[in-house]
């Protein structure tokens, strides 16, 4: 099971605000903290002292603090890649290299005496990780984390995201990515339109962003990129992340019956493995609810994302639940009882045959 994380930016906030946020996040089971030390401007001593204080608070809560740095900071602070005592003294769990070295240095850094984690940028699409692996790093201390993208339309596309992630998965390295809070107001830079990893997630509800990653099933840890997510958002992330089965939100038809609601919302649905190009079939509902009548109603033509229940005109199929994968004519034997919520319709392509899932009313 992966971990949930939040981000804090001590240079742009106060210790009290950061500490209260970390307390709240820990209450909802969050374990990771991302923070950034890409540059230290102004009074270096004061900046680092403030940093150390908030890191210590996170450590007291049992959270793991990853500090984002770049080689320029090494130079500014007089740190060498073969002596990471500075970050150990800061209380860091690990350091994330925003820009890397040549590969040999990263491998050597994983063998530091403090067992600091070395997290590398997953969003490059180069053979960077292969190069590091060729220098025999301590694998337990090498992690991957995607970037976040403050500029609208600059986030990763899903195909490229999967390609980059697969490069890390082949080495069984821990992976992480960022989701975007709609209540948060700041990040490490003055301008930001949210801080997601994938562009498609930028404006989606946080629950839907989480479901997207869970259904792709290729990332371990999910971190809120911007600060501060609301308590409701943190709770939502926890609930979606720890749910026994993925949940798909649907809007119900105006004339849905009580029996049809029971079929949709009180069943664990299973995507039948001998799949069709036209419908995703959850066949067990016709067995469980075989004694219910299911009279014909709302037998309109079918669109992708429609939720369907076969009515009494379909004989032995009566009561079977389906989700339409494409537009089809309706001969009167299929009741259109709802539709996947518009923000979640794209999740339909991520449901896998033989997987199980639940349907929930969109108002939830």
pLDDT band at 14 (very low <50, low <70, confident <90, very high): very high
Q: Which two tokens stand for residue 296?
A: 């014909």
pLDDT band at 77 (very low <50, low <70, confident <90, very high): confident
**Does the pLDDT of residue 210 top 60, yes or no?**
yes
pLDDT for 281 equals 98
Could you tell me what percent of the chain has a pLDDT over 70?
A: 99
Nearest to 241 by CA among 213, 205, 271: 213
Q: DSSP letters of 45-114?
A: HHHHHHHHHHHHHHHHTT-EEEEEE-HHHHHHHT-BTTB-HHHHHHT-SEEEESS---SHHHHHHTT-TT
Write out pLDDT tens, residues 164-173: 999 999 999 9
**Does the pLDDT of residue 53 top 70, yes or no?**
yes
Q: How far is the C-alpha of 129 from the C-alpha of 106, rounded, in Å?
A: 10
Q: How far is the C-alpha of 334 from the C-alpha of 353, rounded, in Å?
A: 22
Nearest to 344 by CA among 278, 268, 253, 249: 249
pLDDT for 1 equals 75
pLDDT for 55 equals 97
Query: To the nearest whole number, what is the mean pLDDT of the chain?
Result: 95
**Does the pLDDT of residue 364 top 60, yes or no?**
no
What are the phi and psi torsion angles at 198 (to 5°)?
Answer: -100, 135
pTM of full prediction above 0.85: yes
pLDDT band at 150 (very low <50, low <70, confident <90, very high): very high
pLDDT for 253 equals 97
**Does the pLDDT of residue 145 top 90, yes or no?**
yes
Q: Could you give all domains of the chain from N- to C-terminal order, each with its CATH number?
A: 4-243 (3.20.20.70), 248-361 (2.40.100.10)
CB atoms within 10 A of CB 349: 10
pLDDT band at 76 (very low <50, low <70, confident <90, very high): confident
**Does the pLDDT of residue 339 top 60, yes or no?**
yes
Counting Cβ atoms within 10 Å, is residue 171 exposed (0-12), middle (13-18) or buried (19+)? middle
Alpha helices in 223-315 (DSSP H): 231-242, 258-265, 285-288
Are 195 and 180 within 8 A, CB to CB?
yes
Say whether 181 sits in a helix, a strand or coil.
coil
pLDDT for 196 equals 98
Are 73 and 84 within 8 A, CB to CB?
no
Lowest mean pLDDT among 24-33, 92-101, 112-121: 92-101
């Amino acid at each position: 099971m992966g971990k949930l994380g939040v981000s804090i930016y001590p240079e742009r906030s106060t210790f009290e605000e950061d500490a209260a946020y970390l307390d709240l996040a820990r209450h909802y089971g969050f374990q990771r903290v991302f923070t950034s030390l890409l540059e230290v401007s102004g009074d270096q001593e004061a900046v680092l002292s403030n940093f150390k204080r908030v890191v210590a608070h996170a450590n007291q809560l049992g959270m793991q603090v990853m500090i984002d740095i770049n080689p320029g900071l090494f130079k500014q602070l007089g740190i060498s890649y073969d002596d990471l005592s500075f970050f150990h003294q800061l209380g860091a769990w690990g350091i994330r290299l925003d820009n890397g070295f040549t590969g040999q240095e990263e491998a050597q850094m994983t063998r530091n005496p403090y067992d600091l984690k070395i997290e590398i940028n997953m969003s490059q699409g180069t053979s960077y990780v292969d190069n590091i692996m060729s220098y025999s790093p301590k694998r337990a201390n090498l992690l991957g984390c995607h970037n976040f993208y403050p500029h609208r339309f600059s986030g990763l596309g899903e195909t490229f995201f999967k390609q980059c992630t697969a490069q890390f998965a082949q080495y069984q390295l821990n992976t992480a990515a960022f989701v975007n809070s709609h209540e948060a107001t700041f990040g490490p830079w003055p301008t930001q339109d949210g801080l997601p990893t994938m562009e498609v997630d930028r404006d989606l509800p946080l629950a839907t962003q989480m479901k997207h990653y869970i259904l792709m099933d290729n990332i371990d840890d999910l971190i809120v990129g911007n600060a501060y997510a609301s308590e409701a958002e943190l709770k939502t992330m926890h609930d979606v992340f720890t749910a026994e089965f993925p949940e798909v939100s649907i809007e119900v038809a105006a004339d849905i019956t009580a029996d049809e609601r029971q079929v949709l919302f009180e069943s664990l649905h299973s995507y039948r493995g001998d799949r069709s190009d036209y419908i995703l079939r959850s066949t067990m509902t016709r067995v469980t609810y075989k004694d219910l009548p299911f009279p014909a109603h709302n037998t309109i033509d079918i669109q992708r994302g429609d939720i369907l229940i076969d009515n009494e005109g379909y004989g032995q199929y009566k009561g079977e639940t389906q989700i339409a994968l494409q537009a089809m004519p309706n001969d009167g034997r299929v009741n259109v009882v709802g539709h996947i919520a518009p923000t979640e319709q794209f999740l339909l392509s991520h449901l896998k045959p033989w997987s199980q899932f639940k349907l929930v009313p969109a108002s939830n």
